[in-house]
Amino acid sequence: MEMNTFCRTVGRVVAENPVEEVPAMIAEYLPEILGDRELLTVEQKTLPPDGYGRHDVFLCPYDNFSIIAAVWPAGIVSPIHDHKTWCTFGVFEGVIKETRYRVSPDDPGGLDVIPTETVEWLAGDVAHLPVGGDDIHCMHNPTDRTAVSVHVYGGNSVKLGPNVVKIYQQAATAAA
């Protein structure tokens, strides 16, 4: 499947299905395009001089979804965060270690989290976050090489800005 076909397919999935089902449905199509070595331009795979890179690949003209390429330098760890909109992502190159969390019942402020699951995603692997909660996670490139992932987000990523609602911290009891 080439990118134009994928975008049309995603557009149909978003338009014709309940939002709760959209990330899982997109996850069925994303592996096919991740295998296309010409999917991303050189610029979309380029690491900026400082930190993590985020490059727009496609913005739906109706603001229904966006596709971005994320470029992860060796060893980088994102903050623990949740999302404004739904998300499906896949690894294009390298390895991404994802840790998912839940809010600690001991934290009345709701910012302390406890890890619930850690998965290493390899090139071609796809995952999605649930809609409406339980979408707290952290992404980490555990290798000494750059990694690239492709993310499909609900909405227009340029207008929304970073797709983050809150930044969390790992609960002290969970770290011990």
pLDDT in tens, 118-136: 999 999 999 998 887 778 9
Which tokens go with 6?
């994928």
- Residues whose CB is less than 8 angstroms from the CB of residue 117 and which lie 6 or more positions away in sequence, other chains included: 99, 100
pLDDT band at 142 (very low <50, low <70, confident <90, very high): very high
According to DSSP, the β-strands at 53-59 and 147-154 are: unpaired
**129/110 Cα distance (integer angstroms):** 19
In a 3-state reduction of DSSP, which class is residue 100? strand
The residue with greater pLDDT, 168 or 139, is 139
34 near 124, Cβ under 8 Å? yes
Read off the pLDDT of each residue in 54-58 and give the average, rounded to a whole number. Answer: 92
State the amino acid at position 167 in one-letter form.
I
